[in-house]
Structure 1
Amino acid sequence: MAFHAIKIFCRKPGAPVLGTALLGLTLAIPPLPALAQQETASPGYVLGEGLELGRTGVRIGGYGSAQWQQMDYEQTPASVSHFSLFLWSDIGPRLKFFTEWDNQENHTADHDHEYEREGSRFLSVERLYLDYSFSDNLTLRAGKFLTPIGRWNQLHADPLVWTTARPLLTRDLFPDNVTGVMAMGNTEIAGRSYEYMLYHSAGSQLQPDPTQTPFDHAYGGRLVMPLGDTLQLGISVARFEQNPGRPGPFWKHGEYKRLLAMDFMWAKHGYEFSGEALRRQSSAGAAHSEHGSFIQGVVPVWGPLSAVGRLEHISMPMMKQSLQRSVIGLNYRYSRAVSIKLENIHDSGPVGARSGLLASASVLF
């Protein structure tokens, strides 16, 4: 496979180079027929669907992402931001196994810069669970899995989302993962089909993410209602105990959080409009409550090229005022498995809010 070196020249952070840089990216991309030949060159393997290990029934896959950023006052050289490995297997007609291990790097666009460990790497167990399916109406899951709050957190693999930066509320207001048990499936209420998830964790996480404040004893649920073929509405509730590993005035030992979130997704002919809103209350009092929201739109531009725009808002006790973020970018998606992204982020609100450019290339294999 031929690799293309792509250079993006910037005069200063936030300079209007988005269109010029994307043109360079587009010209460097091989034509789609060439990609199709690459994907089908190996019989029995399709890019993005994993590879079976002999005749074991076990498949291996994953994704890798390279990321470059130039935020205010600093520039981070291109680096491998994620290398995630999946292993999964159907052990029997009802029992399934899945695990994801992710070697990832912290970036300023994903975390509050005051608490992050910029440039550090860590290996996380994102998922490690067994599923036992009784029927379409009931599947039991045990192990470590993604917390079913909103849509983004459950489908945040880099090649599958539209932007390099995650929405702020999906990083800061609830734990990404939970270790415990979950019941999920479909049920019919008043003649309408609903998807449900109910989960519980009696203790802390398996190998927790060091960038997140630790938590214990989480439980909650999610309900998704389809409204026709193009629109879905979701509601999520959760409760978990905060267990900070660092001293500070904003967290207390034994503090628990109650969370309510709503989300929607509309998609048709390549156009998408989605959003999430979340409010988190604390047992420590109203002064410790947080809330956030975002809306995002996707518009097809040409073939696999789409324009993406997102508006975000988040309010947390550690901030003297609310943070607003706007994201405007372009996503060139060869296929479901390969995408190149370029976006401009602009923050306003608290002192120290950052703005700049992000670019990434991701492959699901």
Structure 2
Amino acid sequence: MKYIFLVFFPLLLLYAEQESDYKIGNGYSFGKMLRVGGYFSTEYEHSELDRTFKIDDVAVMGYGEITPQLNYMVEFEAVNFYIHDFKENTDKTDTKLHAERVYVDYRYSDYIGFRIGKQITPIGYWNLQPINVLRDTTSNPLYSRYLFPKFLTGITASGYIGDSFETSYHLFVQETRDLDESYINISTDHFVGGTIEHELSLESSIGGGIGQFRTLQNETFNFAVANAKYTGESVELTTEFMWRKNSSEHLKDDISMGGYLQLLYRSSEEHAFVSRYEYFDDNDLIGKDQIFLFGYSYRPIYPVSLKAEYQWHEQSDQNKFLASFSVLF
């Protein structure tokens, strides 16, 4: 797929406007039809088990508006681009590009629109922010990494319910294998579900959803998720929790669950402090863990982020310090 994009990309440039316009965080603009951007992030980890530095993500994106109702996005990313292990004194590189997002959007009205292709699974809050620079901490909550597929290759219908525009929904279906199976946390050939979000006020919202997916190992999982968020002038409180059950005959009583409660305090536009409690329990993956996290984020400008955090785990040998530097071009 990435080779098709590399051939198609120059053709888009021919039809785009000749004068480009660049703004950090928004990429190069060649008119409404094409905007090109990207991002990268670095990460340092120090724990009893590991001490590494890596250029974690290097990505390029292209997106634009074909008509007022039709737009598209393509994103390719190299993961673990460079890793230096201080304990082993070794270096590794991986420059292979993976298809992270390749989709088209058609918005029929405020009440219904469709997204077709490889896209972010529309669950909760955290999963909708895949780029490091947009997140509040360097690390991701365990539930968002292990309990459901982060991406889907299929079709999503979304929009508002009612004329108040306070309640929104997403319905998604995947009945094929992933567009790039080397770049997904859980490979599936069947993934369906739906979520709903309701604004209680300008500052707060609640939501939830249900779904089912089948892995390539022919194991079927059912899940339910609940989430809530409050955003004040300087404080943001977020929580998500998922329950998942393996409905395969040989593991029909296998239940996993995980979630987090996070408090963010912004002392100014540039400085923020974050604390998070996580709970995770899955016998097939990493077992049971509870994590307390405290972190700090500095943004000299919004598309540039410097973050640091310390994690206290239920097993003390997993305690770790993480730091990252990320830029959205």
Q: CA deviation at 1:46?
A: 2.0
Q: Which residue does 1:250 correspond to in 2?
A: none
Task: Quote the sequence identity (%).
Answer: 26
For 2:80 and 2:277, the matched residues in 1 are separated by: 25
Which of these residues, 131, 138, 142, is aligned with residue 164 of structure 1? 138
Q: Deviations over 1:31-61 (max 9, x none)?
A: xxxxxxxxxxxx94321112113x5721001
Name the stretch that deviates more: 143-152 or 296-305: 296-305
Structure 1 residues 236 and 209 mapped into 2: Cα distance closer, same or farther (>3 Å)? farther
Of 44-53 and 334-343, the range deviating more from structure 2: 44-53
Q: What are structure 1's unaligned runs of at least 5 residues? A: 1-42, 109-117, 244-252
With over 3 angstroms needed to count, the CA separation of the structure-2 counterparts of 1:133 and 1:321, relative to structure 1, is closer
Q: Of 263, 280, 293, which residue of structure 2 is paired with 1:297?
A: 263
| Worse-superposed segment, 206-215 or 271-280 | 206-215
Gaps of 5+ in 2: 1-19, 84-90
2:324 matches 1:347: no
* CA distances 1:283-314 after superposition (whole Å, capped 9, x unpaired): 13454211001010111235511111111011
Q: Which moved more, 1:219-228 or 1:321-330?
A: 321-330
What is residue 261 of structure 1 aligned with on the other side? 225
More strand by share: 2
Contact 2:149–2:184 under 8 Å retained in 1: no
Query: 2:245 matched to which residue of 1?
Result: 281
Deviations 1:129-171 (A, max 9, x none): 0111111111111101001111110113111111000010000
1:237 counterpart (200, 210, 218): 210
Q: What is the alpha-carbon distance in structure 2 between the residues aligned to residue 314 and residue 70 of structure 1?
A: 22
Partner of 2:44: 68
> Which stretch shows the higher mean deviation, 317-326 or 269-278?
317-326
Aligned equivalent of 1:224, options 180, 190, 197: 197
CA contact (8 A) 1:124 1:208 kept: no
CA positional deviation for 1:85: 1.3
User: What is residue 247 of structure 1 aligned with on the other side?
Assistant: none
Equivalence map 1:165-204=2 (5 Å): 165-188=139-162, 193-204=166-177
State the superposition RMSD in angstroms: 2.5
Alpha-carbon contact 2:305-2:325 (below 8 Å) kept:
yes
Report the equivalent of 2:35.
59
TM-score (norm 2): 0.85
Quick check: 1:296–1:309 contact (8 Å CA) kept in 2?
yes
Matched residue SS, 2:133:
helix
Kept in 1, the 8 Å contact 2:151–2:184? The answer is no
1:329 alignment partner in structure 2: 295
C-alpha separation between the residues in 1 aligned to 2:286 and 2:175? Answer: 34
Secondary structure at the aligned position of 1:148 is classed as coil
Report the alpha carbon displacement of residue 193 of structure 1 after superposing the two structures with TM. Answer: 2.5
Letter in 2 for 1:296: Q
Change (3 A) 1:225 1:150: same
Question: Is contact 1:234-1:264 (8 Å) kept?
Answer: yes
- SS state of the match for residue 322, structure 1? strand
Within 1, Cα distance between the matches of 2:320 and 2:59? 26
SS at match of 1:45: strand
Q: TM-score, normalised by structure 1?
A: 0.77
The structure-2 alpha-carbon separation of the partners of 1:302 and 1:88, relative to structure 1 and needing over 3 Å to count, comes to: closer
* From 27, 36, 39, the counterpart of 1:50: 27
The count of corresponding residues between Structure 1 and Structure 2 is 301
- The residue aligned with 1:131 is 105
Is the alpha carbon distance of 1:258 and 1:81 closer, same or farther for their aligned partners in structure 2, counting shifts above 3 Å?
same
SS at match of 1:205: coil
Q: 1:192 Cα deviation (Å)?
A: 6.5
CA apart distance, 1:73: 2.6
Equivalent position amino acid for 1:238 in 2:
G
Aligned residue identity for 1:261: V
